[in-house]
Amino acid sequence: MTTLAVRTSEVASNGSTHPVGRVDPATTQKIQKNAQEFEGILVRQMLRELRESPFAPQADTMSKAYQEAADDQLAKHIVQAGGLGFGKSMAELMLRQIQHSSLIGSTATAVKPSSPGAP
């Protein structure tokens, strides 16, 4: 996933060297990892709901445990292979929200009033 950026030459108003509008790599990695884990939970839940469908054959307790383990592994592999897109979209939206919130309070990106007599 690419890092979102507006202008990399601007510096935040609080004096940090982190460019305004850019999300640091550690935060990006955390967001992407958590979004992927969340997608894994969603996929597992979808598989569980499919197994509990009224049209699904009823299984005994032992095979149900094996099915749950298989569903967990299947969900893990689906997410590792790129998933269904939920995690990626969620991570992109979170990163965009962080970017926009950093731009709101930035004096570097604020519109400066023109001085009297200036064109």
Report helix angle 25-51 to 61-80, nearest 10: 140
Residue at 106 is within a domain: no
How does pLDDT run across 49-68, given as a tens digit for each residue?
888 877 777 777 778 888 88
- Which carries the bigger pLDDT value, residue 74 or residue 54? 74
* φ, ψ dihedrals at 106, nearest 5°: -85, 130
Q: Which residues pair with 11 in a beta bridge?
A: 19
Residue 107 in contact with residue 20, Cβ under 8 Å? no
Residue indicated by tokens 């592999």: 77
**How much is the pLDDT for 16?**
47
Number of domains making up the chain: 1
Residue 12 counted as domain residue? no
pLDDT for the residue 105: 67
Structure tokens at 97: 């929200």
State the average pLDDT over residues 75-81. 89
Residue 57 within a domain: yes
Whether residue 114 lies inside any domain: the answer is no
